[in-house]
Structure 1
């Protein structure tokens, strides 16, 4: 890292160029380091992004506002409910009965199984 910084400064650059190189290196390196030591991926992404943002000089408020904007999406609420509904149907046997019900209507036709899956 110090050789890259020295080379950039010697090339008549400034600290701006060093931050442009060091920021992504810190982000990706921190992410891989945290994943390597078995930190969950969601936490590793958050921690590495937060540390990189603070290192580059982005205010903490701006980072937190961006995070809250990303989470404040109603379409994201559908994901856990869809997974929950799938788990309920799989455990309760409802999925099997729904496929059998749809198979009664279109199962005898050619490609009926594909139609059952779409229905």
Structure 2
């Protein structure tokens, strides 16, 4: 729930402009970097909601808080954590779909690049947590 700390392991989170927390909800604005997608990194507002001891869900707030929502038909991400033999098993999910012409450009790139990027993110997060 600390986007500044998590940015150290997630290359999709660029420079963070602000962070606002209210209980189990954190919103933050940052420069989004999609792996393999060239061009300027747009500013995005992201909303993380925590279900204590279970999961964190991420969504994009609607317009006007998030201008990127005009181009994205779906974005969701989550971390689901379950105890597993004295350890914790984590399932990381990222879903992203675009509207209009951006869809034909960005989605084929993300089909190739997003999975390896998320796998690297999880390796880095595991190493950071174990330190």
Same fold (TM over 0.5): no
Higher relative contact order (CA 8 A, sep 6+): 2
Structure number with greater Rg is: 1
The structure in which a higher percent of residues are strand is 2
Q: TM-score with structure 2 length normalisation?
A: 0.25
